[in-house]
Structure 1
Amino acid sequence: MSDVGVVESVPRVSLNGRSALVATLAAVAGLMFGLDLGVISGALKFIGIEFQVNDFGKECIVSGMMVGAALGALFGGRLSYILGRKKLLIISALLFISGSALCALAPSVPVLIAGRVVLGLAIGVASFTAPLYISEIAHQQHRGALISVYQLMITVGILVAFISDAILAYSGSWRWMLGIVGVPGVLFLIGVLFLPDSPRWLVLRGRHDEAFDVLHGLRGNDTHARDEIVEIRDQLAQADGGYTLFKRNPNFRRAVYLGVALQAIQQFTGINVVMYYAPHIFEMAGFGTSAALWGTVIVGLVNVLSTFIAIGYVDRWGRRPMLIAGFIMMALGMFTVGILLYFGTGNSDLARYAAVAMLLCFIVGFAFSAGPLVWILCSEVQPMKGRDFGIGCSTFTNWGTNMIVGLTFLSLLTTLGSAQTFWLYALLNLIFIFVTMKFVPETRGVSLEQIERNLMAGKPLNRIGL
């Protein structure tokens, strides 16, 4: 019997409205994440004019956020274990608010970079905590879709940032561009105060009655809540956790390495080349400044709409097929943009719009595959006792590789050339197809506890979801 048949034989469980609401509130962290990612693309040109910043200085401004995010992810795991997921989301909201204010009021480049680092801390903490929290409150049959809402919020944030950049660009108001993050930060802070703690974290801390109450509210069923509590407690019978488990257990190390590889892959697809430098890319293709900014808005809109593909089908089609299809589309998009840049778009409207079309092809491929699915998989494959440590390592990797991408893109354009830079990312996406086929598991419809049992039993990584 195939694994697809096994999944389909499981009775379908309706999505509880409370679970959906709680997951959506937690996913608002992604909205602020997206605002921070997107807003810098429109502001960078005006910051460069006001402070007379060269390309390296611009790369430092872009990458300052990634430094903070890497640090936030590095310490997020331990803080999440001690304080809980909810308290850490509150901390991230406070950091978002203070970081956006510091950026908006920055009198110099060093202060601006410091503000970006604070925002990065907020993003690092939120990007670690929100998917983890959602995975722990969601039912297994809806886990992929609910975690994908987090990625959807990121894309919505990016789109809002691109639109505000395009509107504010007429006046060059880069401070307003950067300060806009503070508004949803306040709303997020208020929303998080009403979230319950993660039931799995409550069991981890020995607060079983509270965990049952939370699960009962999320599932609306005593039996389902009690069964989940029993499964969680069985998994926690393992003595070691975190770094100790990493040192002693080679099966856990496999899960950590897989999470690290997946996050590195997500960044080296080249997505943030497009998100951070989209106006620059459009100008290379021959568009004027205003057209480039509104073209960037189109990129953001396509990014949002394509994420709905993941939400609708990730728990039907599965993780692996969608990843492979996404990498094929991304490779095709990057390769074709490289060809068009190599031969030059000149005064040809057809060539310019073909470049836009293939850039959007890349965005669609990312938005329904590596964008949401990497966060889903990283929250699924880590065992309970080592989940904070494992997801902390993978999220740290995300921001470390993100920083490398942000720091090197303009330099790669100068040294390799624009076409060759896009071909490099196309080649990487082709390589990622084979990595997915060899190592990535299909976890559709499988409980976190079953995935853990398969992992710890020594099954090959690409079969721990069977």
Structure 2
Amino acid sequence: MNNQVRHVFFCAIVVAFGGFIFGLDAALISGTVRFISAEFALSDLQIGAVVSAPGFGVLFALLITGFICDKYGRRQALLIISFLYILSAVASVCAFSFEMLVTARFVGGLAFTSLSVAAMYIGEIAPPKLRGKLVAMIQINIVIGLSAAYFANYMILQVSQMEADWVYALGLDTHTWRWMLGIEIVPAVIWLFLLVLIPRSPRWLVMNNRISEATTVLHQFLTNQEVEKELEQIQHSVALGDKHTLSTMQAIKAMFGSKMRKAALIGLTMGVVQQITGINAIMFYAPTVFEQVGLGTNAAFFQALIVGLVSVLFTVAAVLLVDKLGRRPLVIYGLAAGTISLFMCHYAFSHATYMLTPEQISSFANEHSIASMHNMLNTAFSSDIEFKNQLQSVIGVEEFRRHEGQLMQMATNVNANMILIGVMGYIAAFHFSIGPVMWVLFSEIFPIAIRGTAIPMFALLASIVSYLVQQFFPWQLSHMGASNIFLFYAISGAIGFVILFKIMPETKNKTIEEIELDLDSTKNKVSVA
């Protein structure tokens, strides 16, 4: 490996590390839900607001990120993003109210565009033969960040339960959730300093007529013989883009015209199905989801850690196999497997029962100094909603939220193995298929003239659906119950499967022009004189 290739890898690794920060920021909140809810006495919708605030913030960021990247450069945009991550993490740790915490996490959401900016930067510095692997590092870093968040939450929870003077001195027992959110500060600061070491994008420099600077940067990534050729290609590509790129309204009109209708339907279906099947409800509320199985808080945090490891394993497998097996098999079979897994969860929860024995009630009431719970004696509930509502009426909402994990562990009678297999099966299927493959498809199915409008638009659609799923999951859990939530996710997956099975072509080893021809909705129409 020569010095130029090493430098490409160094810059790509530094930029892709933003994916790790994203995954960490997104998943750390999962371990804090129970603590934050108790400390600030939050309602279901307020809990949803805390978790989904970054998803709301990114909707605004997506509208201006392109302008910042073009005006000030990709590297400057990444530096701004890294500072926002630090500001958000520090403000979250110091939050003294629900409103401040939501605001702090909203600021973090403004930084979530790190994924698209990182992909843009790496795509512009990497040689063609390395581009796919280097861009794929972003997705791998995301799931590693998610896994690291679950691991950090689990370890902090375990430490917070230790009876040691240093635990009390550091406030780990009383400020557990603040320590969880504070984990992000260290890697975010490291990323900020590392970003200072990378150069500007040569393509951005050419776009701004800074040719000599672009040449200097290219010498860091390519041999002397390759620099002149690459510079000519960049100049030609920039000129071609300026010539063929349509205005936003022209691009939208072309996208939904008869010729591109099939591509638009694929983009619409992928953007919605990727999120509406509940991936972020499970990833961002993982301990809460597993508490519904009756595992208890500690075991629920441990299962969340397993979710992270499964995510890493199957994302790596997808990246390695997407060019060998093809896009269509991964999406179709993965979506089918994920839908079946969600139906398994629905079936198991629909047959669950909930009952507290006299011994359990007596023990719990004595342990937590709670008044008589005789109304719960030997009463079997077939619905988690009925059970929770009855408990809240007996011991109060705040006490229920504080001890929900323990109460669900005592009362739940459910096929836990089926649910665990179903959840892990869905996580594996998602990260092996529609998770990473959606972005590959987006880069292939839209012609260059509308790509600049189409990809951000469908990415925005996916972000909106993701925000809604995160915001309303706690409310759905309280009003729909676990069984109906998983049924909704499963039906959504089944609808997406039918649509994509009918219209999605294979794009492996095809040029953009060949894919465009395959997706031309007018090519099979016979004109009638």
Task: Please confirm whether the aligned pair reaches a TM-score higher than 0.5, indicating the same fold.
Answer: yes
Task: Trace 1:252-331 onto structure 2 (pairs within 5 A).
Answer: 259=267, 261-331=269-339
Which segment is superposed worse, 347-356 or 180-189?
Answer: 347-356
1:445 CA displacement = 4.9
Query: Of 510, 519, 522, which residue of structure 2 is paired with 1:460?
Result: 519
Partner SS for 1:238 = helix
2:355 aligned with 1:332: no
**Contact 2:352/2:412 (<8 A) preserved:** no
2:155 aligned with 1:156: no
The amino acid that maps onto 2:337 is M
**Contact 1:70/1:395 (<8 A) preserved:** no
Report the CA distance shift for 1:269/1:296 in structure 2 as closer, same or farther (over 3 A).
same
Q: Specify the structure having the higher radius of gyration (Cα).
A: 2
The amino acid that maps onto 2:334 is G
Segments of structure 2 that go 5 or more residues without pairing to the other structure are: 161-172, 355-410, 524-529
Matched with 2:208 is 205
Partner SS for 2:490 = helix
1:239 CA displacement = 5.2
1:148 CA displacement = 2.5
**Contact 1:95/1:118 (<8 A) preserved:** yes
2:195 aligned with 1:182: no
Q: Distance in 1 between matches of 2:19 and 2:522?
A: 30
Matched with 1:49 is 38
Q: Distance in 2 between matches of 1:22 and 1:345?
A: 54
Matched with 1:433 is 497
1:377 CA displacement = 3.0
1:383 CA displacement = 5.2
1:126 CA displacement = 0.9
Report the CA distance shift for 1:231/1:442 in structure 2 as closer, same or farther (over 3 A).
farther
1:67 CA displacement = 1.1
Q: Could you report, residue by residue, the CA deviation over 1:81-122 in whole angstroms, capped at 9, with x for unpaired residues?
A: 222222111111010000111100001000000001000001
Report the CA distance shift for 1:350/1:265 in structure 2 as closer, same or farther (over 3 A).
closer
Query: Of 142, 149, 155, which residue of structure 2 is paired with 1:167?
Result: 155
**Contact 1:199/1:211 (<8 A) preserved:** yes
Q: Distance in 1 between matches of 2:212 and 2:267?
A: 32
Report the CA distance shift for 1:458/1:82 in structure 2 as closer, same or farther (over 3 A).
farther
Query: Of 235, 242, 257, which residue of structure 1 is paired with 2:240?
Result: 235
1:365 CA displacement = 0.8
Report the CA distance shift for 1:322/1:182 in structure 2 as closer, same or farther (over 3 A).
same
Provide the alpha-carbon RMSD of the alignment: 3.1
Q: Could you report, residue by residue, the CA deviation over 1:394-413 in whole angstroms, capped at 9, with x for unpaired residues?
A: 33223211111012222223
Partner SS for 2:32 = helix
Matched with 1:9 is none
2:482 aligned with 1:418: yes
Q: Could you report, residue by residue, the CA deviation over 1:214-262 in whole angstroms, capped at 9, with x for unpaired residues?
A: 5564454617625743652463251544525425644797667754543
Partner SS for 1:194 = coil
2:76 aligned with 1:76: no
**Contact 1:70/1:397 (<8 A) preserved:** no
Report the CA distance shift for 1:311/1:219 in structure 2 as closer, same or farther (over 3 A).
farther
Report the CA distance shift for 1:180/1:199 in structure 2 as closer, same or farther (over 3 A).
same
Q: Distance in 1 between matches of 2:71 and 2:351?
A: 56
1:442 CA displacement = 4.2
2:341 aligned with 1:341: no
1:151 CA displacement = 1.3
Query: Of 380, 398, 418, which residue of structure 2 is paired with 1:354?
Result: 418
Number of aligned residue pairs: 444
Task: Give the TM-score taking structure 2 as reference length.
Answer: 0.75
Matched with 1:10 is none
Q: Distance in 2 between matches of 1:27 and 1:243?
A: 29
Q: Distance in 2 between matches of 1:19 and 1:416?
A: 50
Which segment is superposed worse, 279-288 or 386-395?
Answer: 386-395
Q: Distance in 2 between matches of 1:205 and 1:244?
A: 25
Report the CA distance shift for 1:286/1:247 in structure 2 as closer, same or farther (over 3 A).
closer
2:470 aligned with 1:406: yes
Task: Trace 1:104-143 onto structure 2 (pairs within 5 A).
Answer: 104-123=93-112, 125-143=113-131
2:448 aligned with 1:376: no
The amino acid that maps onto 1:201 is W
Report the CA distance shift for 1:157/1:121 in structure 2 as closer, same or farther (over 3 A).
same
Q: Distance in 1 between matches of 2:214 and 2:332?
A: 38
Report the CA distance shift for 1:307/1:247 in structure 2 as closer, same or farther (over 3 A).
closer
Q: Could you report, residue by residue, the CA deviation over 1:298-341 in whole angstroms, capped at 9, with x for unpaired residues?
A: 11111112111022112222222212222122112111111111
**Contact 2:352/2:414 (<8 A) preserved:** no
Q: Could you report, residue by residue, the CA deviation over 1:105-157 in whole angstroms, capped at 9, with x for unpaired residues?
A: 0010000000010000011x213312233333344554443332211111111
1:199 CA displacement = 3.7
1:45 CA displacement = 0.6
Task: Trace 1:214-233 onto structure 2 (pairs within 5 A).
Answer: 214-215=217-218, 217-218=220-221, 220=223, 222=226, 225=230, 228-229=233-234, 232-233=237-238
**Contact 2:260/2:519 (<8 A) preserved:** no
Give the % identical residues.
31
Matched with 1:12 is none
1:371 CA displacement = 1.9
The amino acid that maps onto 1:243 is T
Segments of structure 1 that go 5 or more residues without pairing to the other structure are: 1-14
Task: Trace 1:14-53 onto structure 2 (pairs within 5 A).
Answer: 16-53=5-42
